[in-house]
Amino acid sequence: MNYLIRNGRILDPSVNLDAVLDLRVTNGIVSEIGPSLVPQNEEIIDAQGLWVTPGLIDLHVHFRDPGLTYKETIATGMRAAAAGGFTTVCAMPNTKPVVDSVEVVRYIRSEAAKTPVTDLKIIGAITRGQNGEVLADIQGMAEEGICALSEDGKSVMNADLMKQAMLLAKDLDLPIFDHCEDANLAHGCVSPCDAQKALGLPALDPIAEEVLTARDIQLAGLTGCRLHICHVSTANSAEIIRVAKAHSISVTAEVAPHHFALDDSEIWKNDANYKMNPPLRSSDDVAAMIVGLQDGTLDAIATDHAPHHENEKNLGLEKSANGIVGLETSVPVSVTALVKTGLLTPLELIDRMSTTPGRILGGGKGTLQVGAQADIALIDADTPWTIDKTKFETMGRNTPFDGWNVYGRVHTTIYKGQIVYQEGKIQV
Ligand SMILES: [Zn+2]
């Protein structure tokens, strides 16, 4: 199917374009952009009042398949991505078994092929079984086309082993997506704060994140590996990254919507839908996340989409599993918290949600330029609506954003030139 998308506000950070224009999609490719394009034999999409953006790219999701499909399957995760405007997502390797071999990479790819609504990129583990002791089959997984390496959920505590992984990653031109947390400093379930003390909960101190962020940036400087810091949550971590960039170390970073839209005062609610790792931080840290997004220290917004079964999230703050779902709330929470408040322009937001993560991945994603694969999101940024978790495509219902009155609703998602999601429904 060919499309003419008319009168939308085209937001393409790759060329700094923000203008009301028409955009033509022919044979899966963006074929023309301009004012008042003459319709040919194609379907017309009226985008009056909508943003037309490159398909969103999420560098950090958990799809739970293989092994934990009571939380999420590859199919439900990919449908949630399409519903959230995402045409590319990168799945973390902490499945069962861990993604540490060619076989598991092949399994995920074959499952993903059954639900062609988004591009599922696979992240391989750094160590076998994420045991922190022996490197995984990094070479083999690289040959199978993984997009990055990560030990997400924990850090490789042996610095020498991490250095070896970085040298190998550099040779193979793979980035490392780094969960920074010193296991010896990481105790507790929420950040130190008034609510944590009042509720008698053990504190997870920011230093655990900051120490490992600093260590791995030094190792990246030494090895020349492309390092991407996952879910930055503290002002100090952001400052460490800012300084590293000023010293031309090859480091990028992401922040999750909950870390710029919520702070640790939510812990008073004593609800595990506010529990994630890293935990919600102080209002000063939240302010630093926003400054980091504004000045580009924090390159990307990534959801850390982490579906869990209800029975794993109703055990209180101390015992419940870490994480919340994010794919279907990222656009509304980001538009509401960052754009409607004037903290980011629409073009800056789409840069952090598509163009820059596309650059981190490579492969020409995150642009609407003529010749690019037609991965496109149409977003209604102006009509207020209310988030309703019962309508999610993901199997997870673990969200703190249910019932939020927001702006920013994904209207249509186009992947490889095909409408895969439109007005509340998956189209495939
Ligand atoms: Zn994660």
User: The CATH number of the domain where 201 resides is what?
Assistant: 3.20.20.140
Query: For the residues 33-61, what does the mean pLDDT come to?
Result: 97
Three-class SS state of 271: coil
Amino acid (1-letter code) at residue 380: D
Same domain, 126 and 195: yes
Residue 35 CA, ligand 1 centroid: distance in Å: 42
Catalytically active residues are: 304
Residue 13: pLDDT band by 50, 70, 90 thresholds? very high
Residue 41 CA, ligand 1 centroid: distance in Å: 44
Residue 209 CA, ligand 1 centroid: distance in Å: 14
Q: Is this structure's pTM higher than 0.75? A: yes
For the CA atoms of 349, 355, 361, 363, what is the dihedral angle to 10 degrees? 160
Quote the percentage of the chain above a pLDDT of 70.
100
Tens of pLDDT, residue by residue over 163-210, are 999 999 999 999 999 999 999 999 999 999 999 999 999 999 999 999
The pLDDT value recorded for residue 79 is 98
Do residues 100 and 129 touch, judged by C-beta distance below 8 A?
yes
Residue 157: pLDDT band by 50, 70, 90 thresholds? very high
Is 165 among the domain residues? yes
Rounded Cα gap, residues 144 and 284, in angstroms: 43
User: CA 35, 36, 41 angle in degrees (round to 5)?
Assistant: 125
Which range marks the domain in which residue 140 is found?
A: 55-361
Same domain, 337 and 416: no
Classify residue 354 by its DSSP letter: I
User: CA 406, 411, 417 angle in degrees (round to 5)?
Assistant: 145
Classify residue 102 by its DSSP letter: H
Residue 235 CA, ligand 1 centroid: distance in Å: 20
Query: For the residues 293-306, what does the mean pLDDT come to?
Result: 98
Query: For the residues 6-32, what does the mean pLDDT come to?
Result: 98
Residue 61 CA, ligand 1 centroid: distance in Å: 6
Residue 266 CA, ligand 1 centroid: distance in Å: 21
The pLDDT value recorded for residue 428 is 80
Same domain, 270 and 221: yes
Residue where one domain finishes, among candidates 331, 361, 391: 361
Number of H helices, E strands in the chain: 14, 19
Residue 322 CA, ligand 1 centroid: distance in Å: 9
Is 366 among the domain residues? no
Is 158 among the domain residues? yes
Does residue 1 have a pLDDT over 90?
A: no
Rounded Cα gap, residues 381 and 263, in angstroms: 24
Residue with tokens 């919600």: 280
Rounded Cα gap, residues 168 and 227, in angstroms: 13
Same domain, 116 and 218: yes
Beta-carbon neighbours within 5 Å of ion ligand 1:
152, 304
For the record, the structure tokens of 406 come out as 């927001």
The pLDDT value recorded for residue 333 is 98
User: The CATH number of the domain where 405 resides is what?
Assistant: 2.30.40.10
Query: Alpha-carbon torsion 313, 317, 319, 323, what sign?
Result: positive
Is 367 among the domain residues? no
For the record, the structure tokens of 7 come out as 């009168």
Tens of pLDDT, residue by residue over 235-284, are 999 999 999 999 999 999 999 999 999 999 999 999 999 999 999 999 99
Query: Alpha-carbon torsion 186, 190, 193, 197, what sign?
Result: negative
Rounded Cα gap, residues 217 and 206, in angstroms: 17
Tens of pLDDT, residue by residue over 329-351, are 999 999 999 999 999 999 999 99
Rounded Cα gap, residues 174 and 361, in angstroms: 9
Cα distances from 190 to residues 235, 277, 303, 307, 368, in angstroms, run 16, 8, 19, 19, 41
Same domain, 175 and 238: yes
Same domain, 355 and 388: no
Give the containing element (helix H, strand E) for 34: strand 29-34
Same domain, 86 and 186: yes
Tens of pLDDT, residue by residue over 56-91, are 999 999 999 999 999 999 999 999 999 999 999 999
Query: For the residues 149-158, what does the mean pLDDT come to?
Result: 97
Same domain, 227 and 294: yes
Same domain, 354 and 393: no
Rounded Cα gap, residues 326 and 329, in angstroms: 5
Same domain, 63 and 199: yes
Tens of pLDDT, residue by residue over 366-418, are 999 999 999 999 999 999 999 999 999 999 999 999 999 999 999 999 999 99
Strand partners, 305: 61
Residue 388 CA, ligand 1 centroid: distance in Å: 23
